[in-house]
Amino acid sequence: MKEAIYQFPVHGKPVTCEQLKSGHINETYLITTDCGEKYILQWINRHVFPNVEALMHNMAEISAFLQLGGENPAMIRYLDTRDGQSYYNDRQGGCWRAYRFVDNSLCLQRPESREDFLECARAFGRFQYTLRNFPVERLEETIIDFHNTPERYRQLRQAEQADRVGRASLVQEELRFAYARQERGCRLQHMRELGLLPIRVTHNDTKINNVLLDQDSRRALCVIDLDTVMPGLAVFDFGDAIRFGASTAEEDERDLSKVSLDLELFRVFTRGFVEACPSLSRSERQALPLGAYTMTLECGIRFLADYLEGDRYFSIDRPEQNLDRCRTQFQLLRDMEEKWMEMERIVKQETGC
């Protein structure tokens, strides 16, 4: 860390370092200098992102496009290193990047009000809208088949068959639940392959903690964590935000009776997202509920596959955490199935289609 931070043009001498724990993949630190300046320093997980060059290339392409068009970037901008590189490789093979800390900003793990969730919806919708004319073919896939649900199912079956840490016998109920929903869960990918939904620039990690809010006004300042920005479906961005932010429980809640879909938060997010992104096609608006369903199922099977493989992808704080994450997603999915007609009714009311 000490080696890495000095590679970036920070003002003053770094004097404090605080680890920020919010994501499952990278390590994030808040650096304060003796001048009172604050910076975010991130270690990028090369196991998850082996092609860091592609990741930073995407960010540079998008940033340049937005600045050229005079658009409000609505996204964080990273610092180049002192020798003009977009990231720094340390002597141990670690990869680092940095950006200025956004003053007077607030990062929530859960919405504290409907207005907070509405602002996050507007931020992610605005992110989609400002990039509506970006030539998506210029982006590289930072994680191949990231939201290819059929491929996620293949990986789950492979993890079950390999059973590398002897856990398959413990999760037979969860496996049956996942396989029973495979056809429905793969519909969006099939629609994408048939050209029924447009390929857009997507964030692909639209959790509420990836939006910075102003501490005073609670208005959205910018979208952060752009590692997974790549070609994808807008309904996946909508769906991931719903499965994380409209759930009534934490992502790793062990008491499943606490887990359900908050329909009012679902309505609020739908309203904000569609208002901020009027370029969504009719087919995209109609597919919003399926986006929420698909992302909840896909995240569940990803947590389950990682549990079967010995917790190699998502960071954990306790041995059964990925299994708990899987179970909360599946419980949320059960609740969505019970509320499906209401979800479709809300989307129709808020989008007019």
**In the prediction, which pLDDT does 24 show?**
59
Q: Looking at 64-78, 146-160, 264-278, which range is the least confident one?
A: 64-78
For 233-289, the pLDDT digits (tens) are 999 999 999 999 999 999 999 999 999 999 999 999 999 999 999 999 999 999 999
Residues with Cβ within 8 Å of 36's Cβ and at least 6 positions away in sequence, in order, are: 12
Q: Provide the whole-model pTM.
A: 0.87
Instruction: Determine which helix (DSSP H) or strand (DSSP E) holds 345, and give its type and residue range.
Output: helix 340-351
pLDDT band at 199 (very low <50, low <70, confident <90, very high): very high
**In the prediction, which pLDDT does 228 show?**
87
**In the prediction, which pLDDT does 52 show?**
80
**In the prediction, which pLDDT does 77 show?**
74
pLDDT band at 47 (very low <50, low <70, confident <90, very high): confident
pLDDT beyond 90 at 202: yes
Q: Looking at 67-71, 148-152, 274-278, which range is the least confident one?
A: 67-71
For 318-349, the pLDDT digits (tens) are 999 999 999 999 999 999 999 999 999 999 99
pLDDT beyond 60 at 73: no
pLDDT band at 187 (very low <50, low <70, confident <90, very high): very high
Percent above pLDDT 70 for the chain: 96
Q: What is the mean pLDDT of residues 195-202?
A: 95
DSSP secondary structure, 69-125, as one string: TT----B--PBPPTTS-SSEE-TTS-EEEEEE--TTEE--SS-SSHHHHHHHHHHHH
For tokens 């649900």, name the residue.
149
Domain range 114-351, CATH class: alpha beta
State both tokens at 49.
């992102």
Q: Which of 204, 90, 210 is nearest to 143 (CA)?
A: 204
Angle at 237 between CA 117 and CA 55, to 5 degrees: 115
Mean pLDDT over all residues of the chain?
91
Q: What is the mean pLDDT of residues 132-151?
A: 92
For tokens 């590289």, name the residue.
140
**In the prediction, which pLDDT does 70 show?**
54
**In the prediction, which pLDDT does 313 show?**
86
Q: Where are the domains of the chain?
A: 2-50+78-101, 114-351
Most confident of 35-39, 71-75, 124-128, 330-334: 330-334
Half-sphere exposure of 66 (CA within 13 A, CB side): 21
**In the prediction, which pLDDT does 95 show?**
87
pLDDT band at 22 (very low <50, low <70, confident <90, very high): low
Domain range 2-50+78-101, CATH class: alpha beta
pLDDT beyond 80 at 141: yes
